[in-house]
Copies of this chain bind each other. A is one copy, B any other.
Amino acid sequence: MDFIKKPMAIETKSFEIIDDIIKDEGLSYPVEEPLYKAIYQRAIHTSADFDYLDNLKIDADFIRKFEDALTRPVTIYTDTNMALSGINKAAFKKIPWSLECLISHDLTAQMAKKQGVTRSMAAVQIALQTPGKKVFVIGNAPTAIFQLLESSKEQLEDVIGVIGIPVGFVGAAESKALLHEHSMPSIVALGRKGGSNVAAAIVNALLYQLVGRGV
């Protein structure tokens, strides 16, 4: 069988095909600026779904704050271990950022049980109570977004932004619509579609463009 065996060649070819399809089908990137385009491309690359050209809304404010924070310590909190797994770790050798997923921690389970809320909500509460600048990456749990939206301005003071991409049929579209309208800087995928893979892909697009690919 004859097929491409080089990962970078596969990726380059994929992006060319995505661009060709967008041109052939009369679609277009909402923003042509390279960083934005990279985010759209990588969301499509990881899902094979061109709906993200319409669905994905990128606040200029999110991009600005994310970029400004790269030289300072920041923790990225993901709502799932899957999103955490999907984020390429190479960039974290070059910037003082760290990655954390609290969903499986004992304290999270205890707090969720005590309050009668989801573990995703408890994880957001714990993250907000932890000192330091933070970015939330939410690929699965609308309740995590609802928790953020219910938090006070003071509690959200250290939140640089939220990548809100939960997928699903209960609360996902509603939570993302509200997040999109909220003053918190965000990247959201409106509607039902999304997922941990797309959330991770967006983080990777940002880090590859702003920090570099690393080895």
Q: Is A130 interfacial (CB 8 A cutoff)?
A: no
User: How far apart are the CA atoms of A12 and B175 in the complex, in Å?
Assistant: 19
List of B residues within 8 angstroms of A7 by Cβ:
118-119
* With known contacts A5-B118, A5-B121, A5-B143, A10–B197 Cβ distance under 8 A: no
Q: Is A117 interfacial (CB 8 A cutoff)?
A: yes
Q: Is A92 interfacial (CB 8 A cutoff)?
A: no
A interface SS class: helix
Scan residues 34-88 of chain A and give those whose CB is less than 8 A from a CB of chain B: 45-49, 80-82, 84-86
* With known contacts A143-B5, A196-B82, A167–B47 Cβ distance under 8 A: yes
* With known contacts A195-B46, A196-B82, A149–B118 Cβ distance under 8 A: no
Q: Is A161 interfacial (CB 8 A cutoff)?
A: no
Across the interface, name the chain B residue whose C-beta is closest to A178. B1
A122-155 vs B, CB cutoff 8 Å, 1 = contact: the mask equals 0000000000000000000011001001100000
CB contact between A167 and one of B4, B48, B82 (< 8 Å): that residue: B48
List of B residues within 8 angstroms of A195 by Cβ:
46-47, 195, 197
List of B residues within 8 angstroms of A197 by Cβ:
82, 195-197
Which of A1, A45, A196, A197 has the largest count of B CB atoms less than 10 A from its CB? A197
Which of A49, A119, A175, A200 has the largest count of B CB atoms less than 10 A from its CB? A49
Q: How many copies does the complex hold?
A: 2
List of B residues within 8 angstroms of A13 by Cβ:
169-170
Which of A5, A14, A167 has the largest count of B CB atoms less than 10 A from its CB? A5
List of B residues within 8 angstroms of A164 by Cβ:
none
Instruction: Report the 4 A-B pairs with minimum CB-CB distance, sorted nearest first.
Output: A48-B192, A17-B169, A14-B169, A82-B85
Of the A-B pairs whose beta carbons lie under 8 Å apart in the complex, a sample of 26, sorted by A's number, is A1-B149, A3-B142, A3-B143, A3-B171, A5-B118, A5-B121, A5-B143, A10-B143, A10-B168, A10-B171, A13-B169, A14-B170, A17-B170, A45-B169, A47-B193, A48-B169, A48-B191, A48-B193, A48-B194, A49-B49, A80-B85, A81-B85, A82-B196, A84-B85, A86-B196, A195-B197
